[in-house]
Amino acid sequence: MYKIEYLDIEPNDAYEKTISKVLDKCFEVENLPKEKLLVGITLTNPENIRKLNQQYRHMDQPTDVLSFPMFEKEEIDQIIQQGSLAYNDILGDMVISIPQVQTQAIEYGHSFERELSYMVVHSFYHLMGYDHIKEEDKEKMRTKEEYVLNLLKIVRD
């Protein structure tokens, strides 16, 4: 289940359609019951995401996406393996700066949909406990991200 909120930006059905499509595929690929897990998504602007980045990461700068997982990788793996998910367990929250998504889409030369989709799948895998600090972990995470996007036929232009 997804809960999409808007913070100082206008609601947009196209954003919600893209986010739902990507998260549905992420849940399917990971064999997770989307009806049991809650993902909160906040779509906002650079000013608000900068404040959150400062508050939680001590980095006083805007960013494209922030992820707030509720579980460590080992915990979520164990919960899934044991089948002990309860209804409305919270997988975590993601915060996405829509203006930054637009800027990066232009910078990287692909569509807004592709960039928003990447932000969503990237954040989803952070919620699943993946990271990209070490090169080997980055490779695992990138492989999963690209796999989901390729299944959706959301590729780089």
State pLDDT tens for residues 35-90: 888 999 999 999 999 999 999 999 999 999 999 999 888 888 887 778 777 667 88
Q: Tokens 């399917």 sit at which residue?
A: 28
What pTM value is reported for the model?
A: 0.93
**Domain coordinates in residue numbering, the chain:** 2-151
The CA-atom distances, in angstroms, between 124 and each of 16, 44, 46, 61, 107 are: 15, 17, 20, 22, 23
Q: Tokens 């996405």 sit at which residue?
A: 96
Residues 41/94, Cβ–Cβ less than 8 Å: yes
Residues 103/46, Cβ–Cβ less than 8 Å: no
Q: Which of 98, 77, 116, 92 minimizes the C-alpha distance to 37?
A: 92
Burial (Cβ within 10 Å: 0-12, 13-18, ≥19) of residue 8: exposed
CATH of 2-151, one of 3.40.390.30, 3.40.630.190, 3.10.290.10, 3.20.20.150: 3.40.390.30
